[in-house]
């Protein structure tokens, strides 16, 4: 079994002014200074990225973007390029979050291009996938994920994807307080690993970190993290408060 360092990531979505973001990051930095054996990432809103990068510099916290565009530069109003994220100090980038798929026309094809651009620039891509409530109820969970993974990772070889992180975020569990049970999440994570074995190979499938996201909180993190194929969490609401998020970082 590959040795996968857990990753606890906070997606701050469209919350916090620059000063609020810097304050939360500073508090988090103090709270988690003594934690080891877990990677920590926060993804502030774009306006706060540079300031948060400065605030956590030299600590055990990494910073990520919440999205990116695949071109390096050009006439693309409103977009940020991978090199711009690297330039301000980002190490990670979240790609294909369900909110971007739902509200901003993100597709598996654009996810695929964004992953390629992230990798080319040295950013660690966190590819988000997940089924809606209707899809789960219709028994389509695995087929939806199958399509998202195959299209999102189309054209890559295992060697290209050494840093890839996958975040399984069932849409019905995001911001709803309805967490998937640890058994439901484990079932999907195990399925994803078998899918990665089929597309690539077993060594690769065993090395990819697969995070769970959707109403993760201090009360359910240890149960989720006890599952063999759950390698961390992508946390929304509960990552906005440094004290609560640091409990999640400690799995408690």
The set of catalytic residues is: 97, 169
Could you tell me if 80 and 46 are in contact, meaning their C-beta atoms sit under 8 angstroms apart? Answer: yes
Among the listed residues 175, 181, 228, 252, the single contact to ligand 13P using CB under 6 A: 175
Cα separation, 61 vs 46, whole angstroms: 17
235 counts as binding ligand 13P under rule CB under 6 A: yes
d(CA 217, CA 151): 31
Q: Is the Cβ of residue 14 or residue 36 nearer to ligand 13P in the bound state?
A: 14
C-alpha to C-alpha distance for 101 and 98, rounded to whole angstroms: 5
The helix/strand/coil state of 129 is: strand
Among 81, 112, 186, 215, binds ligand 13P (CB under 6 A): 215
The verdict on 11 binding ligand 13P (CB under 6 A) reads yes
Angstrom CA distances, 237 to 63, 70, 180, stand at: 17, 28, 16
Alpha-helical regions (H) of the chain: 18-32, 46-56, 82-88, 98-103, 108-121, 133-137, 141-152, 182-199, 202-207, 218-225, 242-249
Q: Using CB atoms, what's the residue nearest to ligand 13P?
A: 236
Q: Is 174 in the site for ligand 13P (CB under 6 A)?
A: yes
Please state, as a whole number, how many other Cβ atoms lie within 10 Å of the Cβ of residue 136.
Answer: 18
Stretch that binds ligand 13P, among 23-31, 76-84, 141-149, 229-237 (CB under 6 A): 229-237
- As measured in angstroms, the least distance from the Cβ of 130 to ligand 13P is 9
For residue 238, the minimal CB distance to ligand 13P (Å) is 6
Question: Is residue 220 within the footprint of ligand 13P (CB under 6 A)?
Answer: no
Closest contact distance (angstroms) between CB of 19 and ligand 13P is: 22
By CB under 6 A, name the one of 169, 192, 193, 248 that touches ligand 13P.
169
CA 169 from centre of chain? 9
Q: Indicate which single residue of 44, 96, 232, 236 sits in contact with ligand 13P (rule: CB under 6 A).
A: 236
User: Quick one: which segment of 132-140, 196-204, 214-222, 244-252 binds ligand 13P (CB under 6 A)?
Assistant: 214-222
Any idea which residue has 């990531």 for tokens? 9
Closest of 199, 249, 190 to residue 225, by C-alpha: 249
Does residue 213 interact with ligand 13P by CB under 6 A?
Answer: yes
The tally of CA atoms less than 13 A away on the side-chain side of residue 76 is: 10
Closest to ligand 13P by CB, 15 vs 83, is 15
Binding positions for ligand 13P, rule: CB under 6 A:
11, 97, 169, 174-175, 213-216, 234-238
């Amino acid at each position: 079994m590959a040795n996968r360092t857990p990753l606890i990531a906070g997606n701050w979505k469209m919350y916090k002014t620059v000063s609020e973001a810097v304050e939360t990051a500073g508090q988090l930095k103090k709270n988690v200074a003594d934690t080891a054996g877990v990677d920590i990432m926060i993804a502030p809103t774009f306006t706060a990225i540079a300031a948060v990068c400065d605030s956590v510099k030299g600590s055990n916290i990494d910073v990520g973007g919440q999205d990116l565009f695949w071109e390096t530069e050009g006439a693309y109003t409103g977009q940020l390029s991978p090199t711009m994220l690297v330039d301000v100090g980002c190490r990670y980038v979240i790609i294909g979050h369900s909110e971007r798929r739902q509200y901003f026309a993100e597709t598996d094809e654009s996810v695929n291009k964004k992953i390629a651009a992230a990798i080319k620039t040295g950013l660690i891509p966190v590819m988000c996938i997940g089924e809606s409530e209707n899809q789960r109820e219709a028994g389509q969970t695995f087929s939806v994920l199958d399509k998202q993974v195959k299209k999102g990772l189309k054209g890559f070889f295992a060697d290209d994807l050494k840093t890839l992180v996958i975040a399984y975020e069932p849409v019905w569990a995001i911001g709803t307080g309805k967490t998937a049970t640890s058994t439901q999440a484990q079932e999907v994570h195990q399925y994803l690993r078998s899918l990665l074995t089929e597309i690539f190979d077993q060594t690769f499938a065993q090395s990819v970190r697969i995070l769970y996201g959707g109403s993760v909180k201090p009360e359910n993190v240890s149960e989720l993290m006890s599952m063999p194929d759950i390698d961390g969490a992508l946390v929304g609401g509960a990552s906005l408060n440094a004290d609560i998020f640091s409990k999640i970082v400690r799995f408690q």
